[in-house]
């Protein structure tokens, strides 16, 4: 009863709008999941039905796995995303910490360059990067897929900001006085303190890498090495007769890891996104 | 500090440019000893590349081959139709020894032959064994570089129940086609589909089915009056409202077919196979009531039909397993068991119930073709085989200009259908644009 | 926060002026150079060399396999004469106009709604904001392609059930860009809403209390206080939105394949087609340089407008 008394028209409108937004955000996922059990003529029809005609049998998933190396594609995405995440986190820590806590000759230049790489987008280097990797024999390889994203300016900035704000110099000085090497300090003191930021960065990097589309599209011609995004594009090729149930099944499979990560670590991802926006710095 | 960085940059830059130049120079000419075309063992791994649809179908049919040759193991690489030429070019330009066998279309064969990537199969392919005109695209300077796979004559398929109910016979001339379209239109139905923005194939069907062509056999641009007449006929049909607004074979098209609005199709017969998977058996699309027939003659000089496009089996000149690859190619294109297997394919997602080009196989197929459920049990491939064996069919010349030419046509056509340009002016524009290619 | 870091000159004691030389500071920070060396190599190999190469390629004609042939500014001349270039650039600009203002407004309004005192369970609503953004754009494009099919797609079926005519979302040269806009709005608005929300939560309560005392209603408060306070966040959203949008290609590639008639091909996609479908690498490089220039122009214009508004 108390809640009803507080229902003003404004509040109703507000909540209804927000709930509409939630619905709109979620509806395509529901459509995707239901669609992975349907035939083409159930999905594309002037008289749509909500539930699949033949129930929730997994035949589309079975057909998919039989006709396309989707599980291999998932594995590829996993390897590439994990490698990228580890690399980005590691190097962001090294470089971000260096920029936050040390005043070394050349620091200014490094900062300027990093900001420049943040601002200069990738399209000018896309074609030359392709040619370079082709000439180095790195196409169609895990290394070739991971290398262009191995270090992230965004990650460096994130770590730098966090390190500046959250690591007291006294902590570092104390460890130095005890004779610890710089690397030891980084490993045993700084990294643990930074772990919330590092975890957020890792999560965001993993998801971004999982969804990466453009570079894997041109860097890989061997379908055994396709990542899941590229596999989806090939499956949904509009120049052939596409079985949309099968494509949606692949889409569902590809989205599961992201949904799991999102469900478990929602808060941390949100924090990383906001922190990375840089605000006034 | 900065000077050492720039020195490093210079070193790195020079190293990469050297690598780039040497890679660009590439390896010209044969690398090492190449495998024999005949006389080797039919064993080892055969790698087959091609568009996803055709390779999947061939994979199914190859099961029979592997049974006969247990020492052979297969590796497949399937690409989306739009991507496979690029992927093959990238692979072959590095003189790789795989793939061994490829399925490619007439659009690209010419450039592959010119680049020297394909094995000369002249000793294995006799022109008289195949439907007339089917090896033109893979012939160069008197040599043959590929074996014709599927043949794809044009056809006309329609809903027998609807046509019977409205008292229309299957059309055999342009007048009968227009009359049928009119009756259907009166009943709220459409004889075919046309999307003005994607109208090239519709136009080319009318053109070829009336005896005209885009290029002639020497590659000279033709178009001219036959093209104007064909385009005029298409425009008239569109104007009269006979054609449903959708691109044939698109999802829009199938939704309309499934609600019973689309009751016929004039197109390349390979598309008839799509009905099998795309028509809802429980819907209003007339599953089981369709009939396949030969196309109407859209002019007095029209051929009985024409071969729309062709796919070929070609062998990589650098392959290490040519004998096995050749053996497989001959099986897939000429063995009667293979022809039946292709016809029998009825699996989710695989829509290739193709007809062979080899005359021997076609003769067999007249007896052993499969009944197609969606066509009410008609043996569609037997009908197609009969056409190819008893009539002279036209064929389409294609070379490297064809893709760009068809793109150019596609950009010109919408203005015709919106009335801004006349067919004559449009054909003039096409002639200019394509002539400049 | 003032920090003293290693490498700072030690606080001079009276009578002693100790200034470590650059060399000494470098020695003291040896480990730093080791730690940033991988980054430096990465920058040279992955960022600098390809970027410079990109500018260089644009002066040649090259198919990636045979020899490069010098054309100087020929590619740029060709760009000026290329009707498709102007068409695709126009597409990019139209898409920007369709997407960026609407998205910024939506993000701000949504953030304000969530931030309002009337909403108790903020956590619940923010949880869903990132979900569309975290999904691969390929997945989103495939689902939307099915939903937006003219005949038989769910959206048109719903519209027709409500008495409206169906819309040729993907088949019409006019609507294809709208479809791209719808896809982009759905996908990323949540992300920008989060950013706006963070910005809103930084506005001190005292400002609002002062407004409330003055008797300002909610709309008035929003326009005269919230928006000006949020200027920097709005600027950030507009710039980032623009940059994302200009670099985007997956949506067009999967949803409309650039059609019909190149009506939904943004400039970036046109460059991609020239590079990896026609293998006209020199021309594609020139296009990418122009694209880069376009982006600099757009970002610069946004900053200039921001400065103007601030005066």
Interchain proximity B255–C259, CB inside 8 Å: no
Distance from CA of A218 to the nearest CA of C (A): 8
Residue C6 has pLDDT above 80, yes or no: no
Q: How far is B118 from chain C (nearest CA, A)?
A: 18
- Given this model, what pLDDT does residue B257 score? 92
**Measured between beta carbons, which residues in chain A are less than 8 angstroms from residue B80?**
233-234, 237, 239-240
Averaged pLDDT, groups of 10, chain B, 437 residues long: 36 34 36 69 90 88 92 87 80 83 88 89 90 86 91 93 94 94 95 93 92 87 91 94 92 89 92 88 90 92 85 92 93 90 80 86 89 91 92 85 88 92 93 88
User: Residues A56-61: what's their mean pLDDT?
Assistant: 88
CB contact under 8 A, A104 and C7: yes
pLDDT of residue B42: 87
d(CA B250, CA B252) in angstroms, rounded, equals 5
In sequence order, which residues have a C-beta less than 8 Å from that of residue B7 and are 6 or more positions away? none
Q: Return the residue in B21, B349, B350, B353 with the most chain A beta carbons within 10 A, the one to mutate for interface testing.
A: B349
pLDDT value for C209? 81
Tell me what pLDDT residue B287 has. 92
Q: Does B200 touch chain A (CB under 8 A)?
A: no
Residues of A within 8 A of C147 (CB-CB) are: 28, 31
In eight-state DSSP terms, residue A186 is I
| Encoded tokens for A169 | 């110099």
Say yes or no to pLDDT of A279 above 50.
no
For A61, residues 6+ apart whose C-beta sits below 8 A from its C-beta are A36, A249, A253
Tell me the C-alpha distance between C289 and A124, whole Å.
6
Give ranges for CATH 1.10.3720.10 in chain A.
Answer: 61-276
The closest of B36, B105, B98, B39 to B73, measured between CA atoms, is B98
**Distances from the Cα of C222 to the Cα of A279, C200, C225, angstroms:** 21, 11, 6
- How many CB atoms within 10 Å of residue A7? 11
Q: What is the spatial distance between Cα B422 and Cα B232, in angstroms, rounded to a whole number?
A: 8
Three-state SS string across A111-140, please? HHHHHHHHHCCCHHHHHHHHHHHHHCCCCC
Nearest residue in C to B194, CA atom? C171
Quick one: tokens of C142?
């495939």
Question: Would an 8 Å CB–CB cutoff place B219 in contact with chain A?
Answer: no
- Which letter, b or e, does each residue of B325-362 get, where b requires 16 or more Cβ atoms within 10 Å of its Cβ? bbbbbbbbbbbbbbbbbbbebeebbbbbbbbbbbbebb
pLDDT digits (tens, 9 = 90+) for A96-153: 998 988 888 888 899 999 888 877 778 888 889 998 998 888 888 999 999 999 999 8
Per-residue pLDDT, C138:
92
Q: Rounded mean pLDDT of chain A?
A: 86
* Between residues A278 and B338, the one the model is more confident about: B338
Determine whether the interchain pair A94/C35 forms a contact, defined as Cβ–Cβ distance below 8 Å. yes
Give the CATH superfamily of A61-276: MetI-like (1.10.3720.10)
Residue A137 C-alpha, separation from nearest chain B C-alpha, in angstroms: 10
Instruction: Tell how strand B150-151 and strand B355-356 pair up.
Output: antiparallel
**A147, A138 in Cβ contact below 8 A?**
yes
Pick the residue from chain A with its C-alpha nearest to B52. A240
Helices and strands (H, E) in chain B, number of each type:
16, 16
B23 interfaces chain A, CB cutoff of 8 Å = yes
Q: Which of A17, A255, A273 sits opposite C191 (nearest CB)?
A: A273
Q: What is the ipTM of this complex?
A: 0.86
Tell me which chains share at least 3 CB pairs under 8 Å with chain A.
B, C
**pTM, two decimal places:** 0.82
Q: Is B48 on the interface with A (CB under 8 A)?
A: no
Using left for φ > 0, alpha for ψ between -120 and 50, and beta otherwise, residue B223 falls in: left
Q: Do A109 and B19 touch (CB under 8 A)?
A: no
Mean pLDDT of A180-199: 85
Q: Which residues of C touch B197 (CB under 8 A)?
A: 171-173, 259-261
Provide the pLDDT for residue B396.
Answer: 86
B2's tokens: 């900065």
Is the Cβ of B86 closer than 8 Å to some Cβ of chain C? Answer: yes
What residues contact A268, with CB distance under 8 A and at least 6 apart?
Answer: A196, A199, A200, A203
- The CA-to-CA distance between both ends of chain A, in Å, stands at 48
User: C216-275 pLDDT, tens per residue?
Assistant: 777 777 777 778 888 888 888 898 888 888 888 889 989 998 878 899 999 999 999 898
Whether residue B212 contacts residue B204, with contact meaning beta carbons closer than 8 Å, is answered with no
Q: Which residue of chain A comes nearest to B57, CA vs CA?
A: A67
Dihedral pair phi/psi, residue B419, rounded to 5°: 90, 0
| C108-148 residue pLDDT tens | 888 888 887 666 777 788 888 888 988 999 999 999 999 99
| Subunit contact C38:A277, Cβ cutoff 8 A | no
pLDDT (0 to 100) of residue B15: 34
Chain A residue numbers touching C199 (CB-CB < 8 A)? 279
> In this structure, what token pair is assigned to residue B238?
């569109």
| Spatial CB neighbours of A267, under 8 Å, sequence gap ≥ 6 | none
DSSP track, chain C: -----BTBPPPPPTT------HHHHHHHTHHHHHHHHHHHHHIIIIIIHHHHHHHHHTTEE--SSS--EE-TTHHHHHHHH-HHHHHHHHHHHHHHHHHHHHHHHHHHHHHHHHHSTT-S-HHHHHHHHSHHHHS-HHHHHHHHHHHT-TTT-HHHHHHHHTTPPP--TTTSTTHHHHHHHHHHHHHHHHHHHHHHHHHHTTS-HHHHHHHHHTT--HHHHIIIIIHHHTHHHHHHHHHHHHHHHHH--HHHHHHTTT-STTTT--HHHHHHHHHHTS--HHHHHHHHHHHHHHHHHHHHHHHHHHHHHH-
Interface test with C, best of A104, A191, A259 (most C CBs within 10 A): A104
Q: Residue B266 has which token pair?
A: 């004039």
Which of C51, C144, C151, C277 to mutate against chain B (most B CBs within 10 Å)?
C151
- Which domains are present in chain C? 22-57 (no CATH), 77-310 (1.10.3720.10)
Give the DSSP H/E element, type plus range, for residue B144: strand B143-144
């Amino acid at each position: 009863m108390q809640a009803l008394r507080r229902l003003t028209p404004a509040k109703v409108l507000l909540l209804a709008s927000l709930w509409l937004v939630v619905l709109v955000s979620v509806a395509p996922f529901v459509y995707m999941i239901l669609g992975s059990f349907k035939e083409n003529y159930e999905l594309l029809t002037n008289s749509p039905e909500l539930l699949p005609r033949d129930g929730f049998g997994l035949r589309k998933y079975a057909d998919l796995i039989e006709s396309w190396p989707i599980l291999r594609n998932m594995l590829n995405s996993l390897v590439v995303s994990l490698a990228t995440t580890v690399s980005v986190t590691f190097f962001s820590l090294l470089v971000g910490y260096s920029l936050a806590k040390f005043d070394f000759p050349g620091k200014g230049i490094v900062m300027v360059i990093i900001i420049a790489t943040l601002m200069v987008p990738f399209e000018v280097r896309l074609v030359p990067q392709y040619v370079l990797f082709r000439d180095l024999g790195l196409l169609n390889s895990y290394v070739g897929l991971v290398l262009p994203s191995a270090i992230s300016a965004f990650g460096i900035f994130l770590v730098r900001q966090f390190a500046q704000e959250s690591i007291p110099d006294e902590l570092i000085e104390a460890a130095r006085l005890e004779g610890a090497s710089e690397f030891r300090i980084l490993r045993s003191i700084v990294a643990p303190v930074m772990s919330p930021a590092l975890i957020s960065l890792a999560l965001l990097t993993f998801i971004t890498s999982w969804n990466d589309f453009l570079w894997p599209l041109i860097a890989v011609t061997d379908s055994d090495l396709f990542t899941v995004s590229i596999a989806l594009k090939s499956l949904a090729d509009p120049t052939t007769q596409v079985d949309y149930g099968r494509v949606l099944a692949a889409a569902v499979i590809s989205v599961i890891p992201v949904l799991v990560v999102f469900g478990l670590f929602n808060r941390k991802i949100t924090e990383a996104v906001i922190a990375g926006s840089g605000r006034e710095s | 500090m900065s000077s050492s960085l720039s020195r490093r940059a210079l070193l790195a830059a020079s190293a990469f440019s050297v690598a780039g130049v040497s890679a660009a120079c590439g390896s010209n000419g044969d690398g090492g000893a190449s495998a024999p075309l005949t006389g080797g063992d039919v064993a080892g791994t055969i790698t087959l590349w091609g568009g996803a649809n055709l390779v999947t179908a061939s994979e199914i049919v190859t099961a029979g081959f592997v049974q006969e040759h247990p020492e052979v193991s297969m590796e497949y690489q399937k690409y989306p139709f739009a991507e496979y030429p690029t992927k093959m070019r990238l692979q072959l330009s590095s003189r790789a020894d795989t793939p061994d066998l490829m399925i490619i279309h007439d659009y690209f064969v010419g450039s592959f032959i010119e680049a020297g990537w394909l094995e000369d199969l002249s000793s294995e392919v006799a022109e008289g064994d195949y439907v007339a005109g089917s090896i033109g695209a893979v012939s160069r300077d008197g040599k043959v570089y590929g074996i014709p796979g599927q043949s794809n004559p044009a056809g006309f398929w329609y809903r027998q129940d609807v046509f019977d109910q409205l008292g229309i016979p299957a059309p055999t001339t342009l007048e009968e086609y227009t009359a049928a379209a009119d009756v259907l239109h009166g009943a709220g139905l459409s004889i075919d589909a046309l999307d003005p923005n994607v109208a090239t194939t519709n136009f080319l069907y009318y053109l070829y089915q009336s005896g005209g062509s885009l290029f002639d056999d020497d590659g000279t641009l033709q178009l001219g009056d036959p093209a104007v007449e064909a385009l005029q006929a298409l425009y008239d049909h569109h104007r009269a409202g006979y054609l449903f607004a959708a691109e044939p074979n698109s999802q829009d098209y199938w939704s309309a077919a499934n609600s019973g609005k689309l009751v016929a199709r004039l197109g390349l017969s390979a598309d008839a196979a799509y009905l099998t998977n795309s028509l809802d058996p429980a819907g209003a699309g007339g599953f089981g009531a369709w009939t396949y027939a030969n196309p109407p003659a859209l002019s007095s000089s029209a051929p009985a039909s024409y071969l729309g496009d062709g796919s070929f089996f070609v062998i990589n000149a650098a392959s290490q397993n040519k004998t096995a690859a050749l053996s497989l190619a001959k099986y897939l294109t000429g063995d009667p068991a293979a022809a039946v297997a292709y016809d029998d394919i009825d699996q989710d997602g695989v829509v290739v119930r193709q007809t062979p080009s080899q005359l021997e196989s076609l003769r067999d197929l007249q007896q052993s073709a499969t009944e197609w459920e969606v066509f009410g049990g008609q043996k569609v491939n037997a009908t197609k085989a009969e056409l190819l064996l008893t009539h002279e069919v036209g064929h389409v010349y294609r070379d490297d200009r064809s893709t760009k030419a068809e793109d150019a046509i596609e950009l010109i056509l919408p203005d015709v259908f919106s009335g801004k340009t006349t067919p004559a002016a449009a054909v003039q524009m096409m002639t200019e644009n394509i002539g400049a290619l | 926060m003032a920090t003293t870091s290693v490498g700072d000159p030690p606080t001079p004691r009276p009578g002693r002026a100790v200034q470590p030389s650059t060399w000494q500071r470098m020695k003291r920070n040896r480990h730093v150079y080791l730690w940033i060396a991988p980054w430096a190599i990465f920058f040279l190999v992955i960022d600098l060399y390809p970027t410079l190469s990109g500018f260089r390629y644009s002066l040649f004609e090259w198919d990636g396999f045979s020899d490069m042939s010098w054309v100087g500014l020929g590619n740029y001349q060709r760009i000026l004469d290329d009707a498709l270039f102007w068409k695709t650039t126009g597409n990019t600009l139209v898409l920007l106009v369709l997407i960026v203002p609407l998205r910024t407004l939506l993000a701000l309004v949504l953030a304000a709604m969530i931030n309002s005192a009337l909403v108790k369970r903020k956590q619940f609503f923010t949880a869903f904001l990132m979900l569309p953004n975290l999904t691969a754009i390929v997945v989103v494009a495939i689902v939307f392609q099915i939903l937006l099919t003219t005949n038989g797609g769910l959206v048109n079926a719903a519209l027709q059930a409500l008495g409206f005519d169906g819309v040729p979302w993907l088949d019409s040269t006019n609507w294809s860009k709208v479809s791209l806009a719808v896809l982009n709005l759905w996908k990323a608005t949540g992300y920008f809403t989060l950013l706006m929300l963070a910005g809103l939560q930084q506005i001190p309560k005292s400002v609002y209390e002062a407004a409330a005392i003055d008797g300002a209603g909610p709309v008035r408060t929003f326009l005269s206080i919230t928006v000006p306070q949020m200027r920097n966040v709005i600027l950030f959203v507009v710039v980032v939105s623009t940059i994302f949008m200009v670099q985007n290609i997956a949506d067009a590639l999967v949803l409309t394949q650039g059609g019909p008639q190149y009506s939904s091909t943004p400039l970036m996609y046109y460059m991609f087609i020239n590079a990896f479908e026609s293998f006209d690498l020199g021309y594609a490089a020139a296009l990418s340089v122009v694209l880069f220039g376009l982006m600099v122009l757009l970002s610069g214009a946004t900053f200039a407008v921001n400065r103007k508004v601030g005066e």
